[in-house]
Amino acid sequence: MVELDMLIIGGYYGKGSQRGIVSQFLLGLLDDSNTPDEGSANSGGPRFVSAGKVGIGLSMEELVDLSQKMSPHWIRTRVNQLPDQIVWNREKPDLWIPPQYSHILQVRATEVVRSESFKVNYCLRFPRIQAVRYDKTSSDCLTVEEFHRIRTQGSGKLCYESITGTGSRAGLPTRSPRKRKEVSLASEYTCTIQDGVTLLSHIFKGKTLCVMTGGDITRKQTLETAILEHSGRLVQNSGPGTWAIVVTDTNNLRVKNAVAANAHNVVLASWVERCVDSKCLVEWIPEEVLSLVGHDKIVFNNKFDCYGDSFTLPLRPSALPPLLSSMNSHPIPLPTPHELLLVERELYSTNGSAVFRGLQVYCVRGVAKLSKLRLRFYGGSVCDEMSEIVTHVVCVSDRDKDNVEEERRINKRVKSETNRENEENTREKKKESEKSKWNWFEEIDKESKEENKEMEEDVKNGKEIGSEGDREQLERERETRALCYVNENWIKECIRRVLIRSPYLVYLP
């Protein structure tokens, strides 16, 4: 391979770990022609033209050493201040250096290709620095004429000697091409069991199983051999026809993905071992199950509760600690008030002790304390103030009914005014927050858009029936619902007759 002695005429700053130092160099050739380049201010000294750049081949220590020797002489490239003895084309360096302070690089390349980016209209392909020739000066640089002669001699190839067999290694045996290693799957994902497995039983007949051991090859071979010996079918990757995935390591990523996918039955390898020991297909137990799907999940849930306790089999002492610990991780959901009311009505509908159950009773001033205690004792709820949940009102005189109705009207008016004030405050806060985001000349336009938007929303909400409208309708029904006005004798009569419905309600005129 031809080695070229080329002069450093420019440099480029590096990136990453080489940031701050010159890591690439613009290479030049000595132009020994007598015709100076047009447009250059040649002072009569030797001129160097660009012929490529190189950035690999030196170690970090060699690169730092070279940079330290050249750093005092680097000059930043400026448009209006071009060097006299250096000529380049479109490829311009970050820095340039006078030839008398530069050094020669011994460079190798595969070939010379045409390029308009450099002054000689050619550049090196795949260049690499072989050495820094501190023993040579700029006058020892390769000339343009020598460069073109080398290019022409090898038809652009710089390693033509080895190709034609005329170089120093002519006649020597060449290195044989390296054989590529055959690509194959790891033993973890393949079945390494050879033919000749002896059939012992038909425990797993018709079952397709996939074994995942997380890298334990010996355990994988043992389980696969046991499955094949008992008429099972093996696959290395679970698919639509896979009945169950047998695993040994629950922390393995493939196992976690299989459980999260919830597409196959995932069980521990201890189940296979129990089947082989029992010589039959035994049922799964909660300690062995990681995931179940389809009909198998339904059958399993019909045999075990949510904590893993069997409905038919006696509890083993070893299974008691994990069973008790799992109860803390499954909180019992509490029934809602509506569900409690339905249950109470079903259980205590004929019980005299629950005659007032489900009623919300408001007692006016003057009602005896004993009457309130009777209401609570027989299942009723006594409200301290008049509200929309009240169903019955216990009165003392005829005037109490009018007072309660007036109180309801006042409460309704206060509630509507409060809601209106809250809506206005919310709207004002929204406007203030929006105004703070815009300049003063945008406020008028913003307010008009907000008003139009609110009007459109009001019209839209008026036409649609949504959850908000249903709640408002329910509140109106509560406010206009007729209350049952009774007296203290009604309480005594209901308790005596164990009845709560309207035939025994005493309404005041």
For residue 372, tell me if it sits in a domain: yes
Question: Residue 353: what pLDDT?
Answer: 65
Residue 170 neighbours by CB under 8 Å, 6+ apart: 161
Q: Note whether 272 and 357 are same-domain residues.
A: no
Q: Note whether 97 and 202 are same-domain residues.
A: no
For residue 106, tell me if it sits in a domain: yes
For residue 491, tell me if it sits in a domain: yes
pLDDT higher than 90, residue 107: yes
For residue 431, tell me if it sits in a domain: no
SS3 of 180-236: the string is: CCCCCCCHHHCCCCCCCCCCCCCCCCCCEEEEECCCCHHHHHHHHHHHHHCCCEEEC
Q: Are strands 47-54 and 22-31 parallel, antiparallel or unpaired?
A: antiparallel
Say if CB 95 and CB 77 are below 8 A apart: yes
372 token code pair: 């309130």
For residue 182, tell me if it sits in a domain: no
Question: Residue 509: what pLDDT?
Answer: 36
C-alpha dist (Å) from residue 290 to 211, 261, 263, 284:
14, 12, 12, 11
3-class SS shares of the chain: helix, strand, coil, % to 5: 40, 20, 40
- Which of 319, 351, 385 represents a domain boundary (last residue)? 319
pLDDT tens digits for range 211-255: 988 778 888 888 888 999 888 999 888 888 899 999 988 888 888
Question: Residue 81: what pLDDT?
Answer: 78
Using pLDDT thresholds of 50, 70 and 90, give the confidence band for residue 48: very high
Say if CB 159 and CB 2 are below 8 A apart: yes
Q: Note whether 109 and 225 are same-domain residues.
A: no
Question: Residue 507: what pLDDT?
Answer: 40
Say if CB 204 and CB 226 are below 8 A apart: no
Domain with 244 in it: what CATH number? 3.40.50.10190
Q: Note whether 405 and 488 are same-domain residues.
A: yes
For residue 484, tell me if it sits in a domain: yes
* Phi, psi dihedral angles at 288 (to 5 degrees): -100, -10
pLDDT tens digits for range 466-477: 344 444 554 555
Question: Residue 171: what pLDDT?
Answer: 52
Structural domains of the chain, count: 3
Question: Residue 343: what pLDDT?
Answer: 78
For residue 254, tell me if it sits in a domain: yes
Give me the mean pLDDT over the 54-67 stretch: 88
- Calculate the CA 223 to chain-centre distance: 36
Using pLDDT thresholds of 50, 70 and 90, give the confidence band for residue 195: low
Selected residue with higher pLDDT from 297 and 318: 297
Please provide the distance, in angstroms rounded to a whole number, between the alpha carbons at the two ends of the chain: 123
Q: Note whether 115 and 247 are same-domain residues.
A: no
Give me the mean pLDDT over the 401-425 stretch: 75
Question: Residue 472: what pLDDT?
Answer: 54
Mean per-residue pLDDT over the chain, rounded: 78
Q: Note whether 130 and 224 are same-domain residues.
A: no
- Which of 269, 293, 319 represents a domain boundary (last residue)? 319
Q: Note whether 152 and 232 are same-domain residues.
A: no
pLDDT higher than 80, residue 505: no
- Which of 319, 351, 376 represents a domain boundary (last residue)? 319
Question: Residue 506: what pLDDT?
Answer: 42
Q: Note whether 494 and 351 are same-domain residues.
A: yes
Question: Residue 7: what pLDDT?
Answer: 93
Q: Note whether 131 and 250 are same-domain residues.
A: no
Give me the mean pLDDT over the 8-29 stretch: 86
pLDDT tens digits for range 312-358: 888 878 878 877 877 766 566 777 767 777 777 777 666 656 778 77
Give me the mean pLDDT over the 113-133 stretch: 90
pLDDT higher than 80, residue 206: yes
The model scores a pTM over 0.75: no
Q: Note whether 344 and 489 are same-domain residues.
A: yes
Q: Tell me the residue range of the domain where 271 lies.
A: 187-319
For residue 176, tell me if it sits in a domain: no
Q: Note whether 136 and 25 are same-domain residues.
A: yes
Give me the mean pLDDT over the 273-302 stretch: 89
Q: Note whether 308 and 345 are same-domain residues.
A: no
pLDDT higher than 80, residue 417: no
Question: Residue 483: what pLDDT?
Answer: 76
Using pLDDT thresholds of 50, 70 and 90, give the confidence band for residue 508: very low
Question: Residue 482: what pLDDT?
Answer: 67
Domain with 50 in it: what CATH number? 2.40.50.140
pLDDT tens digits for range 456-496: 565 455 444 334 444 455 455 555 556 788 888 888 888 77
When mean pLDDT is compared over 42-46, 72-76, 500-504, the highest value belongs to 72-76
Selected residue with higher pLDDT from 481 and 47: 47
